[in-house]
A and B are shown apart, each in its own frame.
Chain A
């Protein structure tokens, strides 16, 4: 057998296949969550809508808790936190929500995940994790 008959997959090959499988997994999970046909204009399932609304609710409660805590003034020094307050706690939030409810809810879920990741990774992550509510949120969304 000549050397030409052998083919050794490289790490890059393995990474590509893993990446492809992950992409399929995301598609599979999305379709299971009722996102099938989103691009074609069909509506998400009621289950999915309920999940998104729960995420929005959790985000609003978390932001309120953070804003009213002693750390609130320090958090407000960060533009990102101010943007989240503006987006979800201000009167404008109601308008944005009513305009395109589905997009608004999906963004809320996304922002909640990012916020939880940021808090969990930061220096206060361990302190937050002492609270059951925060642990529940991490378990639910991360």
Chain B
């Protein structure tokens, strides 16, 4: 029997730092991990096989990863087969494994279909900070001539693209959390910044036996950019939607924080 823990969250939400933490705690995250880049100096901790597969599914659906509208992926048989291969190999070779890829927000229901017992760690971050960080990364890539300029430019050609992406990805995660509340644990980047014991919470919730690693050993606050002004928005109809999604995420995060309060209350009670 093998356990699976998938780390999901929108781009620039702290999933890499969280994956790094869990990797050190003993979670197998892939045979070949993507290399570090200036935008993620400690590495992405993304499984190349999983990332490649997600990109192929986007291509099959005539899309890129810049998904700003609700997306229902259609999978070819070859892609299902590839997913099964990825799952089978890891299930055979690892007692506990997982992967991290922000794109998996949009495919998480598919993975859950193949891995009915998989748990997800949902990492979320305020829309203003995530979208700013995303814009910062793509502007830097655009000006330094790295990567696909067409992709980078789209953030300044389509109003609210990053905000709509944030909405679509996080709504997909909320749908998962509502369908599988027992298999979801949500943490915000702010909680991690404030030293919330993520590994302890995972072990307490699911008993996965991860080694305890202090958050401070892997989390570097200098690498997370923050927007100094309020979120600009062109399409005002997005505001109530984003607000509702943010509140729902916060409610999930508060449930996770409750675990710590319960523990502290128990200690005080003793």
Partner-B contacts on A (CB < 8 A): 7, 9-10, 12-14, 16-18, 20-21, 24-25, 27-29
| Interface flags, B128-164, vs A, CB<8A=1, else 0 | 0000000110011001100000000000111100000
Known contacts: A20-B156, A21-B156. The answer to whether A13 contacts B139 by CB under 8 A is: no
**Contact across chains for A7 and B235 when beta carbons are under 8 A apart:** yes
Is B232 engaged at the interface, CB distance under 8 Å to the other chain? yes
Please determine whether A24 and B234 come into contact, CB atoms closer than 8 angstroms.
Answer: no
Residues of B contacting A29 in the complex (Cβ-Cβ under 8 angstroms): 143
| Complex Cα spacing A12 to B233, Å | 11
The answer to whether B139 and A17 touch across the interface, beta carbons within 8 angstroms, is no
Chain A residues contacting B235 (CB-CB under 8 Å) are 7
Interface of A is mostly: helix
Asked whether A24 lies within 8 Å of B139 as measured between CB atoms, the reply is: yes
- Indicate if the CB atoms of B232 and A20 lie closer than 8 Å: yes
Q: Could you say which of A10, A21, A27 has the most chain B C-beta atoms within 10 Å of its C-beta? A: A21
A and B contact pairs by CB, cutoff 8 A, 29 listed: A7-B235, A9-B158, A9-B159, A9-B234, A12-B234, A13-B159, A13-B234, A14-B159, A16-B159, A16-B232, A16-B234, A17-B156, A17-B157, A17-B159, A18-B156, A20-B232, A21-B139, A21-B156, A24-B135, A24-B140, A24-B143, A25-B139, A25-B143, A27-B136, A27-B139, A28-B139, A28-B140, A28-B144, A29-B143
A21–B237 alpha-carbon span in the complex (Å): 23
Q: Kindly list chain B residues whose C-beta atoms are within 8 Å of the C-beta of A20.
A: 135, 156, 232
Q: How far is the CB of B129 from chain A (nearest CB, A)?
A: 15
**B-chain residues with CB within 8 Å of residue A28 when the two chains form the complex:** 139-140, 143-144
Give the docked Cα–Cα distance between A13 and B233 (Å): 9
Cα A29 to Cα B159 with chains together (Å): 24
Tally chain B residues at the interface, Cβ within 8 Å.
Answer: 14
Alpha-carbon separation in the docked complex, A21 to B140 (Å) = 10
B26 to chain A, nearest CB (A): 35
Inter-chain CA distance A18–B158, complex, in Å, is: 11
> Shortest CB–CB separation between residue A30 and chain B, in angstroms?
11
B136: A residues at CB distance < 8 A = 24, 27
Residues of B within 8 A of A16 (CB): 159, 232, 234
List 5 A-B pairs, minimum CB-CB distance, nearest first. A24-B139, A13-B234, A13-B159, A17-B156, A21-B156
Nearest Cβ on chain A to B144's Cβ, whole angstroms: 7
Bound CA–CA A61/B260 (angstroms) = 67
**Bound: A24/B157 CA distance, A:** 15
Given A20-B156, A27-B136, A27-B139, 8 other A-B contacts at CB below 8 A? A12-B234, A17-B157, A21-B156, A24-B135, A24-B143, A25-B143, A28-B144, A29-B143
Of B136, B143, B144, chain A has the most CB atoms within 10 Å of the CB of B143
Interchain nearest-CB distance for A8 vs B (Å) = 10
Q: How far is the CA of A7 from the CA of B234 in the complex (A)?
A: 10
Complex CA distance for A9 and B164, rounded to whole angstroms: 14
A103 to chain B, nearest CB (A): 22
